[in-house]
Chains A and B, each alone.
Chain A
Amino acid sequence: MTLIWKLLRQHVSVGQLAGFFFANLLGMLIVLLSLQFYEDVVPAFSGEDGVMKNTYIILSKHISAVSTLGGEAQTFTDADIRDLEAQGFTRRVGAFTASQYQVYGSLSMGGMGIGTDMFFESVPDAFVDVQWPAVDAQTVPIILPRSYLAIYNFGFAQSKSLPKLSEGLVSMIQLDLRLRGEGGVERRMKGQVVGFSTRLNTVLVPESFMQQSNRELAPAAAAAPTRLIVEVKNPADDAIARYVQDKGYELEDNSLEAGRATYFLKVVAVIVMAVGLLISLLSFYILMLSIFLLVQKNADKLQNLVLIGYSPARVSRPYQLLTVGLNALVLLLSFVLLFWIRGIYLDRLWEMFPTLAEGPVSMTILIGFALFVIVSFFNIVAIRRKINRLTPRSPKMFKRGLYSTLNGK
């Protein structure tokens, strides 16, 4: 290889290759940086809480004085649900199921006990992004709204001189639950808080537990849902807001706003990424022109090598290695620069959003490697084709083996 390289490195233009190198580095860096920035920043905008995706919205019927006094149903009928499912923006609809029995929850801390009447709700498991942890049959896993904890800590505990509770601490406390159904049937259980949600404004329990406990404690009651959880294709879709208004429904929380912010962030990220890809593409073009020029200048040498028995594949290899090496160097340097820049902007982000967790880097690294592989593949093929075209033509370039079958080799 060294002798061939000694021959074929003639006319290698350092200037052109440096031009490619920096152009490709810039393109690659823009692509990776926009991707990583998106991954890191999106959680800050979307208010994702790990329990519920931001493409979910929660619908309820509007409650007014008239509807309450008039005894008008605030529940969703099957027809309402079917109509919602038929909308273009809907991916799927799930109903909230409420407990049809009484729930009394209490907990005692340091000799002091507090207790309250409460309720449970559940949504189909497919809508809950966390895996319900496995607990024993006598314990109910519960997801609480984060706001409940805030109300307790800053309202209740403050005024009653009770200790403030962190999320971690609450998760360690076991609630005593008393479930009382029809005809005085009573069941005592333990409750354990397994998570908090900023988006789901309810005391959430697993759907399977809900069904079983309703069957057991309130076999006669059949409840129509008062709230629906809807997965939409695009939260920024105007049609959702129009539909909600037409039907007189209400949207809980500002999930649409967060969804919009995420959506626009996504659009911006995609545009920036496209610019990066364009630069990468142009740099690829520079590299190809440079290599083609090199091949053209060394055409006689390549031809001579082939005529003394070298295969076109073998004489292509030095140039292929050169380009793949350059691409690898670009990838490596892009990663180094990426993580350096990321360190800078993450510091800024943390000043603004102290609780923000940094996004995953796996996708960026994967995309970087994918780009490297794709670009290198096209480089390798293009160089081989160019050299094949230079060397003596054969009508059947890739049909193997006529000579070899003849000679039994």
Chain B
Amino acid sequence: MNTISLLHTLPRVFADRPSLPPSDIWKQDATLERGHLYLIEAASGTGKSSLCSFLIGYRQDYEGKILFDGSDIHEFCTYDWTQVRQRSLSTMFQELRLFPELTAWENVQIKNRLTNHKSDADICAWFEALGIADKREVKLAQMSFGQQQRVALIRALCQPFDFLLADEPVSHLDADNTAAMGELIMNEARSQGAGVIITSIGHHMDLPYDKVFKL
């Protein structure tokens, strides 16, 4: 997948509002390309979660069109979406969507066993780099949200992708961990030639963004 295009897209809940605050995405034509780094800055209530839900195929209550390489994702079937999520678009969810019953390691493995993308050694190295090597065998429920965010990132990197969509990835991280996470994302994206889309409602990673959208 090389491009994600949004053509006059607008969440349906916004459709009957008389006036909308100016946005670089809603009701505009915007294209995101593979290999580039994007930041989407949003204030609360401007539809950031909706945008991510549309892109990952979780919701379809929008007007206008969203195209992956020119084809309308509204037409995708279950099989298409499974393929997209496994190979093209990796997501780090704002709400993480991790499994509290499993350990940090198992949470990553449940993805990596599906894709067989990374070796155990690679994953270990990432746990090390993000400072949670000692938490590998700890149940996720017993970890702080910041630690869970790092597990969620590692899980998101355990697959091939053309785009990485990270929804507020560093909302609960300190400066050091934010920097470590930024470095990890950029290394992995560069090695795959992938695009990265990061959303933020304030605190964000300091990275060389190609374009910043205001939502």
User: Does A4 reach chain B (CB closer than 8 Å)?
Assistant: yes
Known: A4-B110, A308-B155. A398 touches B78 (CB 8 A): yes
Q: What residues of chain A lie closer than 8 Å to B80, measured between beta carbons? A: 394, 400-404
Query: What 1/0 flags go to A379-409 for Cβ under 8 Å of B?
Result: 0000000001001111111111111101101
User: Does A7 reach chain B (CB closer than 8 Å)?
Assistant: yes
User: Does A301 reach chain B (CB closer than 8 Å)?
Assistant: yes
CA distance A10 to B33 in the complex (A): 41
User: Does B60 reach chain A (CB closer than 8 Å)?
Assistant: yes
User: Does B40 reach chain A (CB closer than 8 Å)?
Assistant: no
Nearest neighbor of A312 in chain B, beta-carbon distance: B78
User: Does A6 reach chain B (CB closer than 8 Å)?
Assistant: yes
User: Does A304 reach chain B (CB closer than 8 Å)?
Assistant: yes
Say yes or no: A397 contacts B78, CB within 8 Å.
yes
Known: A6-B101, A307-B58. A403 touches B76 (CB 8 A): yes
User: Does A3 reach chain B (CB closer than 8 Å)?
Assistant: yes
Say yes or no: A308 contacts B82, CB within 8 Å.
no
Q: What residues of chain A lie closer than 8 Å to B77, measured between beta carbons? A: 394, 396-402
User: Does A377 reach chain B (CB closer than 8 Å)?
Assistant: no
Known: A3-B102, A7-B101, A407-B1. A311 touches B58 (CB 8 A): no
> Interface size class for chain A?
20 to 34
Say yes or no: A309 contacts B110, CB within 8 Å.
no
Say yes or no: B84 contacts A403, CB within 8 Å.
yes
How close is A399's CB to chain B, nearest CB, in angstroms? Answer: 4
User: In the complex, which of the residues A307, A309, A403 contacts B93, with contact meaning CB atoms closer than 8 Å?
Assistant: A307
Say yes or no: A403 contacts B83, CB within 8 Å.
yes
How close is A297's CB to chain B, nearest CB, in angstroms? Answer: 13
User: Does A345 reach chain B (CB closer than 8 Å)?
Assistant: no
User: In the complex, which of the residues A307, A309, A311, A406 contacts B78, with contact meaning CB atoms closer than 8 Å?
Assistant: A311
Say yes or no: A403 contacts B86, CB within 8 Å.
no
Interface residues of B in 42-60 (CB under 8 A from A): 56-60
Query: What 1/0 flags go to B64-103 for Cβ under 8 Å of A?
Result: 0000111100111111111111111001010001110110
Say yes or no: B71 contacts A402, CB within 8 Å.
yes
Q: What residues of chain B lie closer than 8 Å to A312, measured between beta carbons? A: 78, 82
User: In the complex, which of the residues A301, A310, A407 contacts B114, with contact meaning CB atoms closer than 8 Å?
Assistant: A310
CA distance A407 to B59 in the complex (A): 23
Q: What residues of chain B lie closer than 8 Å to A400, measured between beta carbons? A: 77, 79-80
Q: What residues of chain A lie closer than 8 Å to B68, measured between beta carbons? A: 403, 406
User: In the complex, which of the residues B59, B86, B97 contacts A304, with contact meaning CB atoms closer than 8 Å?
Assistant: B97
User: In the complex, which of the residues B58, B88, B93, B109 contacts A392, with contact meaning CB atoms closer than 8 Å?
Assistant: B58
How close is B158's CB to chain A, nearest CB, in angstroms? Answer: 9
User: Does B106 reach chain A (CB closer than 8 Å)?
Assistant: yes
User: Does B190 reach chain A (CB closer than 8 Å)?
Assistant: no
How close is A65's CB to chain B, nearest CB, in angstroms? Answer: 87
CA distance A392 to B79 in the complex (A): 12
Q: What residues of chain A lie closer than 8 Å to B135, measured between beta carbons? A: none
Say yes or no: B99 contacts A304, CB within 8 Å.
yes
Query: What 1/0 flags go to A300-329 for Cβ under 8 Å of B?
Result: 010011111111100000000000000000
Nearest neighbor of A300 in chain B, beta-carbon distance: B97
Q: What residues of chain A lie closer than 8 Å to B5, measured between beta carbons? A: none
User: Does B159 reach chain A (CB closer than 8 Å)?
Assistant: yes
CA distance A392 to B73 in the complex (A): 13
How close is B78's CB to chain A, nearest CB, in angstroms? Answer: 5
How close is B167's CB to chain A, nearest CB, in angstroms? Answer: 12
Q: What residues of chain B lie closer than 8 Å to A3, measured between beta carbons? A: 102, 106, 109-110, 113
Q: What residues of chain B lie closer than 8 Å to A398, measured between beta carbons? A: 77-79
Most B Cβ at <10 Å: residue of A306, A388, A406: A406
How close is A308's CB to chain B, nearest CB, in angstroms? Answer: 5
Say yes or no: A403 contacts B102, CB within 8 Å.
no
How close is B107's CB to chain A, nearest CB, in angstroms? Answer: 9
Most A Cβ at <10 Å: residue of B57, B59, B114: B114
CA distance A404 to B56 in the complex (A): 16
Say yes or no: A311 contacts B79, CB within 8 Å.
yes
Most B Cβ at <10 Å: residue of A305, A307, A388: A307
Say yes or no: A311 contacts B82, CB within 8 Å.
yes
How close is A388's CB to chain B, nearest CB, in angstroms? Answer: 7
Known: A394-B76, A402-B76, A403-B71. A308 touches B59 (CB 8 A): no
Say yes or no: B82 contacts A409, CB within 8 Å.
no
Say yes or no: B111 contacts A401, CB within 8 Å.
no
User: Does B115 reach chain A (CB closer than 8 Å)?
Assistant: yes
Q: What residues of chain A lie closer than 8 Å to B57, measured between beta carbons? A: 392, 394
CA distance A160 to B114 in the complex (A): 90
How close is B30's CB to chain A, nearest CB, in angstroms? Answer: 20
How close is B63's CB to chain A, nearest CB, in angstroms? Answer: 15
User: In the complex, which of the residues B1, B71, B110 contacts A7, with contact meaning CB atoms closer than 8 Å?
Assistant: B110
Nearest neighbor of A407 in chain B, beta-carbon distance: B1
Query: What 1/0 flags go to B189-212 for Cβ under 8 Å of A?
Result: 000000000000000000000000
Q: Please give 9 more A-B residue pairs, beta carbons under 8 A apart, in addition to A6-B101, A304-B97.
A: A304-B98, A306-B82, A307-B93, A308-B110, A392-B58, A400-B80, A403-B76, A406-B71, A407-B88
22 contacts between A and B (CB under 8 A): A3-B106, A7-B102, A305-B110, A306-B82, A307-B58, A308-B111, A308-B114, A308-B155, A309-B85, A309-B111, A309-B159, A392-B58, A393-B60, A394-B76, A394-B77, A395-B74, A398-B78, A398-B79, A401-B80, A403-B84, A406-B69, A409-B87
A-binding residues in B (CB < 8 A): 1, 56-60, 68-71, 74-88, 91, 93, 97-99, 101-102, 106, 109-111, 113-115, 155, 159
